[in-house]
Amino acid sequence: MNLFVNALSIVIVGILAVSLVYTLFVARQQKAVEGEIDTKIPKPVQKHVYLSNPIFLSYVIFFVLVLFIILFVAITFLR
């Protein structure tokens, strides 16, 4: 891979890491807010807070797809 692709990969991974940390920070702030802003959360959602959150699911799916792409490129072009 050339220098441009390596630099672009580092920038993309940095943006994703900052986005993940920011999402976790905002989620903790929302959890700390008290009062009757929202309605009660159903019991199944309370048991699986992270599995029911579409933001975390999208991050997991994205990273799995990135790993598959990296493995595909490595297997295809590094023979």
CA-CA distances (angstroms) from residue 72 to 10, 58, 59, 63, 75? 19, 21, 20, 14, 5
- What pLDDT is recorded for position 62? 92
Alpha carbon distance 51, 67 (integer Å): 20
Q: Amino acid identity of 42? A: P
Instruction: Report whether 60 contacts 51 (CB < 8 A).
Output: no
- What pLDDT is recorded for position 58? 87
- What pLDDT is recorded for position 63? 94
Instruction: Report whether 14 contacts 20 (CB < 8 A).
Output: no
**pTM across the whole model:** 0.41
- What pLDDT is recorded for position 33? 59
Tens of pLDDT, residue by residue, the chain (79 residues) = 688 888 888 989 999 998 888 888 887 776 655 555 666 777 776 777 777 677 888 888 899 999 999 998 888 888 7
